[in-house]
Amino acid sequence: MTDTEARPIEVLLVEDDPGDELMTREAFEDNKIGNTLHVVRDGMEALDFLYRRGEYAEAPTPDLVLLDLNLPKYDGRQVLERIKSDPDLSHVPVVVLTTSSAEEDILRSYKLHANAYVTKPVDLDQFIAAIRQIDEFFVTVVKLPRR
């Protein structure tokens, strides 16, 4: 295994709900996921992180984005559209991780080129299982471009 393959995956969680952030952190810890989890709490912070502005000037380009749809400032749909329309970011897989199971949100997310759409389970054990499955798929099963 090369050094590039061995390095932890940089995951950007875009989540404004402190409870969901905590559950995601717990899922990473419980599953011994060795990836680096970065958290921003609104759409503006997400764009600042992705474009390395302000306090995020030294931020890495994430290998995977976990994106809530309902965010302050810029909503997740706007963030997704920016990511997927930018040639420097469009390769980054984006998993929409949201409470919405509305067909219109699912369809719109895929039309904006989301890589996956996951409705957040309310139960902690199911939430942890969903995070584990996302990690296993995007980190273990598929090959991600490494920049």
Instruction: For residues 52 and 45, give the distance between their C-alpha atoms in angstroms, rounded to a whole number.
Output: 10
pLDDT of residue 35: 80
Give yes or no for a contact between 69 and 81, defined as CB atoms under 8 angstroms apart. Answer: no
Total-model pTM: 0.90
Give yes or no for a contact between 11 and 36, defined as CB atoms under 8 angstroms apart. Answer: yes
pLDDT in tens, 24-49: 888 877 766 668 899 999 999 999 99
Domains and their CATH numbers in the chain: 7-136 (3.40.50.2300)
pLDDT in tens, 53-102: 999 999 999 999 999 999 999 999 999 999 999 999 999 999 999 999 99
